[in-house]
Structure 1
Amino acid sequence: MAEEAGARREEAPEETIEDDDGYVEYVPVKKRRLLEQQKLLQRKGQNSSLVEDGRGAAESKPSLLVKASQLKKDQPEISATEQLVRQEKDMIDRLSERKTLMSVRELAKGITYTNPMQTDWRPPSHVRHMSEAECDEIRKQWHILVEGEEIPPPIKNFKDMRFPDPILRKLKEKSITRPTPIQVQGLPVILSGRDMIGIAFTGSGKTLVFVLPLIMLALQEEQSSSLGGGEGPFGLVVCPSRELARQTFDVVQEFTNVLREKNYPELRSMLCIGGIDMRSQLEVVKKGVHIVVATPGRLKDMLAKKKMNLDRCKYLTLDEADRLIDLGFEEDIREVFDHFKAQRQTLLFSATMPKKIQNFAKSALVKPVVVNVGRAGAANLDVIQEVEYVKQEAKIVYLLECLQKTPPPVLIFCENKSDVDDIHEYLLVKGVGAVAIHGGKDQEEREYAIASFKQGKKDVLVATDIASKGLDFPDIQHVINYDMPAEIENYVHRIGRTGRCGKTGIATSFINKNQSETILLDLKHLLKEARQRIPPVLATLDDPMDNVEEVARASGVKGCAYCGGLGHRIGECPKLEHQKSQAIAGTRRDYFGSGGYGGEI
């Protein structure tokens, strides 16, 4: 019997034996795998024979891998230049679309505004009837570049802009007899109620471009429906630093005071910045405030505490907009946007506005007009730029020599607060009348330093980049960069403190081996663009941009689209890398005991 059962097993090895009682013989895993392989091989053999016979063509399908390789072969070959252009465009699009600069309420409810704000302002008939060719001729003459739909015509004098007589007289008093290029196109755009991105070199009169229309709007609103106690403002200006906010506030008050003197309705303005007792600011709000000039922190605080509201606000200006976003005020601005109850006219201004900021900002604007005088991020051509190689240990001694180049006042920029204090102390020991300003000083000290320097009581101001953005020192003849900044944008803003309003100035920058090659290449290209002398130490640098001129032509972006530097492309941008590393560090804060319940380190 045993022999017969063994013979039966040998005859049918592939079949499992089942008794009448339901018993199934166990087949080892190894043997099962071999059986499966044999079955697969048999099927493959059948399929191949069918294909050879012409009968299995319909049953055999190519794999996804074969399809993918076939698609690649069919695609036209892309040149290295085109590939790089596409990569850069994808990077810019990703950065621009990361978040839209809109309020949470508008995003949540899907609120979008399609038509610009309407105003009662109308230019004279001869301006309205200008042909497109005539407008383009004026823009070409004044080197104005514009983008957008239905752009209002440029106006070459203040009288045709229909400002009240007291304002025109005040402008004349300040020796402002004709508008600058940014004012020629910018003022008609804003007076028409259009959203705008304004880009022009420092000292070109950007402040008046948004202050004068703001005063006109407040005047019109007050005349039609006067403000009650606790109401307002009609217009809001947000600045990145207290000093810039103070300067803008002073300009607003200058013009509102002359209107009041000539029996126009009183326009109350408020300076909303940190370092000042909030009670004095609340006193103005209680009476009803027409215009507010603010820094993001204090403004957000007052709105959150319901000390002020933006229910009637129709006008928002972000001055030095790129700086506001770079300094991390993006979320604060978004929170401010949440307090608007209706559509507002939004304006963004800066001297350096790279493409990524423009794309990002357009999400908050309605049919915006971009007004650009010169390349965004270009240096002021009225400044003579001198670059000198000075060893680190010799800089402070050489500084005294540099001060002899021109008569005072002179502005010295440093990267660190400690360097500002050291240089300030050194200059005082050497008998130089100097003051210093940086973020570590209290508001009273900062205001005293700026005021005494502007009034000519002190000859030298030593500062960090806090004094580089937007501050107007009309008589400065010389700016010294004791340290080169980490970003070329800051260099452009720094040297723009001189050579203002058509005057010429000198900018001296100390460089040495401490600077990164990227910033030196950016500086080299900036000097080349402004037709300035390039020192041998920069001329001998290996320049990777020589090989990517074709990419710049194909993409339409000269240099880096992220920071505006001309010495590198966006793929090698140190600022972008730094911000990415900061973002990564921010996500890891909790792991190191910071940002959680344990408090800050």
Structure 2
Amino acid sequence: MQSQPSSKRRRVERSPSPTYKLDDEDDSYEPYVSVAQRRQQKLAKLSSLGASSEKQRAKKQQEEQEEREDAEKEEERRKERARKERTLLMEAQEVHSRKAAEEADAEILEAIKSRRKLASDMELAKGISYTESLKTSWRPPRYIRERTNAQHQKVRDKYHILVDGEDIPPPIEHFVDMKIPEPILQHLKSNRITNPTPIQLQGIPAAFTGRDLIGIAFTGSGKTLAFCLPLIMMALEEETKLPFIRGEGPVGVILCPSRELANQTYENVVGWCSALAKSGKYPQLNTLLCIGGISMNEQSHVMSKGLHIVVATPGRLIDMLEKKKFTFNNCKYLCMDEADRMIDLGFEDDVRNIMSFFTVSPFRARRKFCLNSFQGQRQTLLFSATMPKKIQDFAQQSLIKPVLVNVGRAGAANLDVLQVVEYTPPPVIIFSENKNEVDDIQEYLLLKGVEAVAIHGSKTQEERQYAIKSFKSGAKDVMVASGVASKGLDFNDIQHVIIFSMPKEIEDYVHQIGRTGRSGKTGIATTFVNMNTPEPTLLDLKYLLMEAGQKVPPFLSTIDDTQGGSMKGCPVCGGLGHGISNCPKREDAQRRLMASHRTTDEGGGY
């Protein structure tokens, strides 16, 4: 038996070792990329996407632009086709419509012209008319008389004076050559009036010769002196020939549409007449103020003497004439200040009534040799800042060989006023046609510590006089007023006028801004308008600013002229932004007329 090994090694089987391929061609293998590299790759991808999106947006914008241009071209082609499709018949219809409108305007203007001329009922009934102007003894100096018509016209051109009429008296550039008494010249110099204004240098010589006169000039141009001085000289001549005694006179009358304007004119006349009397070389001329709101007993000292000059409003004057407080038996001078306003305010029949008192009395033998060949004839003068063509035509029919003196277009604004127009909602300040608004504004200013006074038609005469006096004296800083203060009142030192509510009629606007820029001074007029202002009024304002060379605000420039306006002006109101057929003044007059007819038909009245 063989022997076995003592120990037996057991073979332990091990799992095979893995086999590695050095050249691994497996496509799924991704090499390692660092974080920084991955970030750069991401940014590059985003930038590429952004550039692509920007190109797409640019392309889209270009396509939209091309579409718009194509649409515009198509619209232009459509309009062009529409223009070409207009037929001759359509054009003929338009021409016919324009012609019909012009004929309608002509008919309206002709109807206005057909009004009765401004004369008394007796003169109209008896067919009394005069063909020759009133004769006077005044003549210009010889060296002026010897000038040629061309030389006279050169003077007028120098001062931008337009004249019309037959045998027009020459213009005179110096007061001394007008043969005005020295005391008046000194009085004028003391008030810094050394040379006549354009309306004075042509208007005063024309009035001195006895000619009927239509004087048109912007506010503050010296019209008051132009019509008061001839009357003073006429009264002085009559008083020098044969002194007036109680019950005689007046020689002349000045009519004003408002109490304030009459009172202002009266103060001027009294000042000039006092200057004559104080010199000791000339007699005292008596002047009577004849207006409502004052007691005539206060002027009994004037009534107890011979009466030379009367300054009046129509209503009170008629009352005094009917009561025979005085007569017009010796009266041969009639002046209407703000004449167009007088007619527009309904005083036309009152003026005719006043003219009926210009009669010949059988008891005038005492003065018959002093009044030359005067047989009820009078010298008539009409003055205003705004006188539309319809009033001029009306006046031409009513006067005897009138001389028309026009310094600037009738109704034009004062070129010395800087017109500032602002668009703003209410409330603002200072000119307002609403009486309650005037009081409210004054109360507001007083609460704010502003020294303000108010004036309007419902104030008593004492309140009106106090307001004007304190304002003129400088005791009060602000005057809040309705339209009653816009017509003729003279406030020389005012530098700024503010119009709270734009008037409906452009004439009222011209009068209101005319309270500044007077006597050659410059001024500012600030006007506020709103959506309640009628479009024709805005067009009138637009053209007025353009005419005066003023800046037209953008909101006015954008208003299209669809009203038929022109730089010639509406013949009814003088507005430049509309025609006669859509004139607001004419429409308002028609409404008042219809209202009066309704009142009569319904049994209304006094």
TM-score normalized by structure 1?
Answer: 0.81
TM-superposed deviation, 1:288:
1.5
Query: Are positions 1:255 and 2:265 aligned together?
Result: no
Tell me, in whole angstroms, the C-alpha distance in 1 between the residues paired with 2:604 and 2:474. 46
Query: Are positions 1:526 and 2:560 aligned together?
Result: no
Aligned length: 496
**1:305-363: CA deviations, max 9, x gaps?**
11111000011100000011111111111100000020000000000000111111223
Tell me, in whole angstroms, the C-alpha distance in 1 between the residues paired with 2:134 and 2:116. 24
Counterpart of 1:130 in structure 2 is: 147
User: Is the contact between residue 102 and residue 363 of structure 1 (CA under 8 Å) also seen in structure 2?
Assistant: no
**1:510-532: CA deviations, max 9, x gaps?**
11111111111111111111111
Counterpart of 2:60 in structure 1 is: none
Residues 62-77 of structure 1: matches in 2 within 5 Å? none
Tell me, in whole angstroms, the C-alpha distance in 2 between the residues paired with 1:423 and 1:459. 14
TM-superposed deviation, 1:453:
0.2
Counterpart of 1:389 in structure 2 is: 423
Residue type at the aligned position of 2:147? M
Counterpart of 1:200 in structure 2 is: 217
TM-superposed deviation, 1:278:
2.2
SS in 2 for 1:287: coil
TM-superposed deviation, 1:83:
5.8
Structure 2 unaligned runs (5+)? Answer: 1-93, 360-375
User: Is the contact between residue 235 and residue 315 of structure 1 (CA under 8 Å) also seen in structure 2?
Assistant: yes
Tell me, in whole angstroms, the C-alpha distance in 2 between the residues paired with 1:513 and 1:82. 33
Counterpart of 1:568 in structure 2 is: 578
Tell me, in whole angstroms, the C-alpha distance in 1 between the residues paired with 2:102 and 2:167. 30
TM-superposed deviation, 1:286:
2.6
Counterpart of 1:161 in structure 2 is: 178
Identify the range of structure 1 (567-576 vs 88-97) with the bigger mean alpha-carbon deviation. Answer: 88-97
Residues 22-61 of structure 1: matches in 2 within 5 Å? none
**1:363-414: CA deviations, max 9, x gaps?**
321000000000000001111111111112xx24xx5xxxxxxxxxxxx210
Query: Are positions 1:473 and 2:491 aligned together?
Result: yes
Residue type at the aligned position of 2:175? F
User: Is the contact between residue 231 and residue 285 of structure 1 (CA under 8 Å) also seen in structure 2?
Assistant: no
Counterpart of 1:436 in structure 2 is: 454
Query: Are positions 1:517 and 2:549 aligned together?
Result: no
| Structure index of larger Rg | 2
TM-superposed deviation, 1:282:
4.5
Counterpart of 1:44 in structure 2 is: none
Counterpart of 1:373 in structure 2 is: 407
User: Is the contact between residue 565 and residue 578 of structure 2 (CA under 8 Å) also seen in structure 1?
Assistant: no
Tell me, in whole angstroms, the C-alpha distance in 1 between the residues paired with 2:454 and 2:290. 23
SS in 2 for 1:221: helix
Structure 1 unaligned runs (5+)? Answer: 1-76, 400-411, 553-557
Counterpart of 2:384 in structure 1 is: 350
Tell me, in whole angstroms, the C-alpha distance in 1 between the residues paired with 2:354 and 2:403. 23
In the alignment, which of 90, 93, 96 is matched to residue 113 of structure 2?
96
Tell me, in whole angstroms, the C-alpha distance in 2 between the residues paired with 1:279 and 1:364. 35
User: Is the contact between residue 124 and residue 160 of structure 1 (CA under 8 Å) also seen in structure 2?
Assistant: yes
Query: Are positions 1:140 and 2:157 aligned together?
Result: yes
Residue type at the aligned position of 2:418? I
TM-superposed deviation, 1:590:
3.2
Tell me, in whole angstroms, the C-alpha distance in 1 between the residues paired with 2:96 and 2:130. 41
SS in 2 for 1:386: strand
Tell me, in whole angstroms, the C-alpha distance in 2 between the residues paired with 1:248 and 1:390. 36
Counterpart of 1:115 in structure 2 is: 132
TM-superposed deviation, 1:146:
0.4
Counterpart of 2:195 in structure 1 is: 178
TM-score normalized by structure 2?
Answer: 0.80
- The 1:78/1:281 distance shift into structure 2, 3 A limit, reads farther
TM-superposed deviation, 1:85:
4.7
Query: Are positions 1:246 and 2:263 aligned together?
Result: yes
Tell me, in whole angstroms, the C-alpha distance in 2 between the residues paired with 1:165 and 1:85. 55
TM-superposed deviation, 1:220:
0.2
Tell me, in whole angstroms, the C-alpha distance in 2 between the residues paired with 1:180 and 1:500. 12
RMSD between aligned residues? 1.6
TM-superposed deviation, 1:582:
1.0
TM-superposed deviation, 1:82:
6.2
Query: Are positions 1:502 and 2:520 aligned together?
Result: yes
Tell me, in whole angstroms, the C-alpha distance in 1 between the residues paired with 2:303 and 2:401. 33
User: Is the contact between residue 232 and residue 285 of structure 1 (CA under 8 Å) also seen in structure 2?
Assistant: no
Residue type at the aligned position of 1:366? I
User: Is the contact between residue 544 and residue 576 of structure 2 (CA under 8 Å) also seen in structure 1?
Assistant: yes
SS in 2 for 1:328: helix
User: Is the contact between residue 565 and residue 576 of structure 2 (CA under 8 Å) also seen in structure 1?
Assistant: no
Which stretches of structure 1, 4 residues or more, deviate above 6 A after TM superposition?
Answer: 77-82
**1:2-39: CA deviations, max 9, x gaps?**
xxxxxxxxxxxxxxxxxxxxxxxxxxxxxxxxxxxxxx
TM-superposed deviation, 1:535:
1.3
Counterpart of 1:587 in structure 2 is: 597
Tell me, in whole angstroms, the C-alpha distance in 1 between the residues paired with 2:412 and 2:479. 25
Counterpart of 2:88 in structure 1 is: none
Identify the range of structure 1 (528-537 vs 376-385) with the bigger mean alpha-carbon deviation. Answer: 528-537
Query: Are positions 1:300 and 2:318 aligned together?
Result: yes
Counterpart of 1:190 in structure 2 is: 207
Identify the range of structure 1 (81-90 vs 471-480) with the bigger mean alpha-carbon deviation. Answer: 81-90
Counterpart of 1:23 in structure 2 is: none
Tell me, in whole angstroms, the C-alpha distance in 1 between the residues paired with 2:300 and 2:353. 20
Tell me, in whole angstroms, the C-alpha distance in 2 between the residues paired with 1:283 and 1:339. 24
